[in-house]
Structure 1
């Protein structure tokens, strides 16, 4: 476990909106920004973009661009190392 990465991941997950984003994405293969904003009732795109950038920077999310759309997905290997209880299959343990 890399201490620097751990600090970034735990800081990112320590904010309620980012934690909700990760939980929502953990149960989906990928999700577009508009879907996330609606699902989590985030009104401002700038707020969502800010949270997503921090989650990408710490390695929890990846982004795939398709035209003007961006699709976000969880890096399961990072989530398994630092926050395995957030993975839906592990919640039944």
Structure 2
């Protein structure tokens, strides 16, 4: 939930930036949850060199989780 809310407010964040903002989440846990959110379609990922940047998929959020966009 915190990851989705963060990405709804700040787009185009890489793994490291998400981890820095959440502070208390272990890297392996963050990686697992980002994969789950990406697989579900709620967030999109885009590879840029060796970095992967994440964004909320606004169409999916509007349909299934509109509170993220409020």
TM-score, scaled to structure 1? 0.70
Give the counterpart of 1:65 among 32, 36, 47: 47
Residue ranges of structure 1 left out of the alignment (5+ in a row): 1-18
Deviations 1:26-75 (A, max 9, x none): 01221111011010014532111100010011100111111111100110
Give the counterpart of 1:44 among 26, 39, 43: 26
Residue ranges of structure 2 left out of the alignment (5+ in a row): none
Greater fraction of residues in strand: 2
RMSD of aligned residue pairs (Cα, Å): 1.1
Corresponding residue for residue 21 of structure 1 = 3
Pairs aligned (count): 70
Shift of 1:22: 0.3
- Would you identify which runs of 4 or more consecutive aligned residues in structure 1 move more than 3 Å? none
TM-score, scaled to structure 2? 0.91
Higher RCO (CA-CA < 8 Å; seq separation 6+): 2
The structure with the largest alpha-carbon Rg is: 1
